[in-house]
């Protein structure tokens, strides 16, 4: 079997679909050249699925995640959430949808260095209009859940890489999102911390029923995800 042939419509885990990508194409300009990051991609992801998205550098993995999370717009095609087309939403509505629906975790943690851990975790709560006391209460609840309540008042520079990434996971959980999108979340971690982070994702997915999509090169991730999607040259490979 040719494992690199493009697949047709792919169902990533069976069940009620929460995310659907229809004929999705994303083209970038690189000087005079056009680069197709994604090409006519179709994908359906079921509610509560735990998906690992794999592929070589330049295969379109991060582009795919950005389009699902409304961080970017496709060149053509549609992104649907619970059957509703989200493509072309005005910026303000897209931002509101992102904050209410998605929790994002990135390879570089993206913590604000001058804020203690709890204030980093509370950032989505602030954008959601929660008061200061409610923000701190929610941040402390989530930090306690992932075993970092003792780090609440520490700055990111005083945390280990594994602790920083767990704070980033706590921030992603602050508003109890239905969907968690993680872009190379173990990429800056050693193997032991990589396992710790993936164990957190697995526990969250099991306890909350969240839909989790992890983009990765890391073989550690394969031990935890339940369904794999492989990309090559902007298309899903069978």
Average pLDDT, the chain: 88
Stated pTM of the model: 0.88
In a domain, 37, yes or no: no
Q: For the segment 86-124, what is each residue's pLDDT rounded down to a tens digit?
A: 888 888 888 888 888 999 998 888 899 999 999 999 999
User: Is the CB of residue 194 less than 8 Å from the CB of residue 218?
Assistant: yes
In a domain, 139, yes or no: yes
Rounded to 5 degrees, φ, ψ at 113 are -65, -30
In a domain, 24, yes or no: no
Alpha-carbon distance of 209 to 178, in angstroms, equals 8
Residue-number span of the structural domain to which 233 is assigned: 49-73+86-237
Q: For the segment 153-176, what is each residue's pLDDT rounded down to a tens digit?
A: 999 999 998 999 999 999 999 999
DSSP string across 128-178: TT--HHHHHHHHHHHHHHTT-GGGTT--GGGS-HHHHHHHHHHHHHTT--S
In a domain, 186, yes or no: yes
- HEC-encoded secondary structure of 2-65: CCCCECCCEEECCCCEEEEEEEEEEEEEECCEEEEEEEEEEEEEECCCEEEEECCCCCCHHHHH
In a domain, 15, yes or no: no
State the pLDDT at residue 7.
43
Domain containing 187 — which CATH number?
3.40.50.300
The count of structural domains within the chain is 1
In a domain, 115, yes or no: yes
Other CB atoms closer than 10 Å to residue 141's CB: what's the count? Answer: 14
């Amino acid at each position: 079997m040719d494992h690199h042939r493009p697949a047709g419509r792919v169902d990533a885990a069976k069940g009620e679909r929460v995310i659907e990508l229809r004929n999705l194409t994303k083209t970038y300009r690189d000087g005079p050249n056009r680069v197709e990051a994604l090409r006519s991609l179709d994908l359906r992801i079921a509610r509560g699925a735990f998906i690992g998205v794999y592929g070589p550098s330049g295969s379109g993995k991060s582009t795919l995640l950005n389009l699902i999370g409304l961080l970017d717009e496709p060149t053509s095609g549609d992104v649907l959430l619970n059957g509703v087309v989200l493509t072309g939403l005005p910026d303000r509505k897209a931002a509101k949808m992102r904050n209410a629906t998605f929790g994002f975790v990135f390879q570089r943690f993206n913590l604000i260095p001058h804020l203690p851990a709890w204030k980093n975790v509370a950032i989505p709560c602030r954008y959601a209009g929660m008061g200061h006391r409610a923000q701190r209460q929610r941040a402390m609840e989530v930090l306690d859940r992932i075993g970092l309540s003792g780090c609440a008042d520490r700055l990111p520079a005083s945390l280990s890489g594994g602790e920083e990434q767990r704070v980033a996971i706590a921030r992603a959980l602050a508003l109890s999102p239905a969907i968690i999108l993680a872009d190379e979340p173990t990429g800056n971690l050693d193997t032991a911390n990589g396992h710790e982070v993936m164990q957190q994702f697995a526990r969250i997915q099991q306890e909350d029923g969240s839909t989790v999509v992890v983009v990765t090169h890391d073989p550690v991730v394969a031990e935890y995800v339940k369904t794999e999607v492989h990309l090559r040259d902007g298309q899903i490979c069978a």
